[in-house]
A and B are shown apart, each in its own frame.
Chain A
Amino acid sequence: MSEQGETQTPPVPPAPSLPAPDVLVDFGVQAPGSANPMPIGRRSEYEARIRKSVDAQAAGAEKASQLFIR
Chain B
Amino acid sequence: MLPPNWGQPHPGPRRFDLVNDGMAVRERYRPLADSAQLDEVFDVALGAGATSVFIDRPYVDFDYRSDLSHFYGRAFRPPPETTERLIFTSEHDVLGIAVIRPLPQQVGRTLLPPPQEESRYVTCRCDMPVHAFGFEWKVRGYPFSSQDGEYGVCAHAAIWSIARYHHLRFRTDRQTISGIIEAAGLRERPDKTARSDGLYGFDIIRAFRGIGLPALQYDIANIPAISNYTETAASVICRYLNSGIPVAVLSSNHMLVLIGYGEEASGEIFYIVSDDNLGAYQRMKIVTGTTPDAWKMLIVPQPGRMHVNGEAAEARAEEVFEDRVRANAGPGHLLAEWLATPRVLLVRTYATPSTAYVSGMAARGVPDQICHHHVYAPKANWLWVAEVQDPTREEDERVVGEIAVDATSLQLDPSPVFGNIDGWAYLWHPGDEEPSVIELVTGSVRYRSALGDRSEQAAAAPPAFAPYGGTPVD
Contact = CB atoms under 8 A, between A and B. Distances in A.
A22 interface: no
Q: B interface, how many residues as a size bin? A: 35 or more
Contacts of A56: 218-219, 222-223, 226-227, 231, 311
Q: A interface, how many residues as a size bin? A: 35 or more
Given A7-B90, A28-B425, A49-B228, A69 B201 contact: yes
Most buried by B among A37, A46, A53: A53
Interface of A: 1-7, 10, 13-14, 23, 25-38, 42-43, 46-57, 59-70
Interface in B405-460: 411-414, 425-427, 432, 434-438, 440, 452
A5 B200 contact: no
Contacts of A27: 373, 377, 425, 427, 436, 438
Contacts of B223: 56
Nearest to B309: A53
B140 A10 contact: yes
A36 B339 CA distance: 13
Contact of A28 (B198, B219, B323, B438): B438
A4 B114 CA distance: 9
B315 A49 contact: yes
Interface stretch (B63-71, B77-85, B325-333): B325-333
B425 A49 contact: no
A2 to B, nearest CB: 8
B328 A57 contact: no
A30 B435 contact: yes
Contact of B412 (A10, A34, A51, A68): A51
Contact of B125 (A1, A4, A31): A1
Contact of B311 (A2, A35, A49): A49
A61 B217 contact: yes
Contacts of A62: 219
A64 B49 CA distance: 40
B312 A50 contact: yes
